[in-house]
Amino acid sequence: MNASLRISVASLRAHGRRFAGTFVAVFLGVAFLAGTLVMGDTLRASFDTMFGNAAKGTDAVVRGADTITTPGESRGVRRPVDVSLVRTIERAPGVAAAVPDIEGAGQLVDAHGKPIGGQGPPTLAGNWIEDPGLNAYRIAEGRAPARSGEVVINRGAARKGGLGIGDTTTLRTPDPVRVTIVGLATFGGEDGMAQVTFTGMTQADAEKYLTAKPGEAAGIRVRAAPGVGQEKLVAGLAPLLPDGVEAITGQASAQENTDMISSQFLTVFTTFLLVFSGVALLVATFSIHNTFAIVVVQRTRENALLRALGASRRQVTVSTLVEASAVAVAASAAGLGGGIGIAAGLRALFPAIGFPFPSGGLVISGLSLLLPLAVGVLVCLGSALLPAVRAGRTAPLAALRETAVDRSGASRARAAVGAALAVLAAGATLTGVLARPSLWLAGLGAVLALAAFVVLGPVASSTAVRVIGVPLDRLRGVTGSLARRNALRSPRRTAATASALMVGVAVVSLFTVFGASLKATMDRTVSRSFAGDVAVSTPSFGAGGSGLSPELAPAIARLPTVKYAVGLGRGVAEVDGRGRALTVTDPAVLGRVFDLGAVRGSLDHLGADGIAVTRSEAVRQHLTTGDTARLAFTDGRRMNFTVRAVYGRSELAGDYVITRAAWAPHRTQDADTLVAVTFADGVGTADGKAAVQRVAARYGDPEVQTRDEYARSSAGGIDMMLTLVYALLALAVLIALLGIANTLTLAIHERTRELGLLRAVGQTRAQLRAMVRWESVLVAAFGTAGGLALGAFLGWVLVKASDGASDSAFAFAVPPARLVVVALVGLAAGALAGLRPARRAARLDVLRAIGTE
Q: What letter would DSSP give residue 843?
A: T
The listed range with the strongest mean pLDDT (157-166, 316-325, 513-522, 744-753) is 157-166
Beta strand extents in 483-625 (DSSP E only): 534-537, 562-575, 578-585, 599-601, 610-614
Angle ∠(827,833,837) on CA atoms, nearest 5: 135
Mean pLDDT for all residues in the chain: 81
| Residue 477 burial (10 A CB sphere; 0-12, 13-18, 19+) | exposed
Q: Is 722 helix (H, G, I), strand (E, B) or coil?
A: helix
Report the candidate in 241, 208, 279 with the shortest Cα–Cα distance to residue 36. 279
Show Cβ contacts of residue 756 under 8 Å, excluding neighbours closer than 6 positions.
844, 845, 846, 847, 848, 849, 850, 851, 852
Rg (CA), the chain: 33
Please indicate, yes or no, whether the overall pTM of this predicted structure exceeds 0.85: no
Residue 428, C-beta contacts closer than 8 angstroms, at least 6 positions apart: 441, 442, 444, 445, 448
Residue 471: helix, strand or coil by DSSP? helix
Residues forming a β-bridge with 217: 81
Residues in contact with 21: Cβ distance below 8 Å, sequence separation at least 6, in sequence order: 287, 291, 738, 739, 741, 742, 743, 745
More confident residue, 516 or 200: 200
Q: pLDDT band for 404, please (50, 70, 90 cuts).
A: very low
Angle at 474 between CA 470 and CA 476, to 5 degrees: 100
CB 104 within 8 A of CB 213: no
Convert 416-441 into a string of H (helix), E (strand) and C (coil): HHHHHHHHHHHHHHHHHHHHCCCHHH
* Residue-wise pLDDT tens digits, 571-580: 899 887 788 8
Q: How much of the chain exceeds pLDDT 90, in percent? A: 21
The phi, psi pair for 59, rounded to 5°, reads -95, -25
403 in Cβ contact with 379 (< 8 Å): no
326-335, 491-500, 553-562, 705-714, range with the lowest pLDDT: 491-500
DSSP character at residue 190: B
Tens digit of pLDDT for each residue in 133-188? 898 888 999 999 999 999 999 988 898 889 999 999 999 888 889 999 999 998 86
Pick the more confident residue, 501 or 200: 200
Look at residue 564 and give its three-state secondary structure.
strand
For residue 658, pLDDT beyond 60? yes
- Comparing 250-264, 313-327, 353-367, the range with the smallest average pLDDT is 353-367
Amino acid letter for position 772: V
Which of 494-498, 729-733, 793-797, 805-809 has the least mean pLDDT?
A: 805-809
Dmax (CA) for the chain in angstroms is 103
Q: Which residues, in sequence order, are bridge partners of residue 828? A: none
For range 39-53, the mean pLDDT: 76
Three-class SS of residue 83? coil
How much is the pLDDT for 405? 46
- Mean pLDDT, residues 116-136: 83
Q: CB atoms < 10 A from the CB of 843, how many?
A: 10
Residues 765, 785: Cα–Cα separation, whole Å? 30
The pLDDT value given to residue 223? 92
Average pLDDT (208-213) is: 88
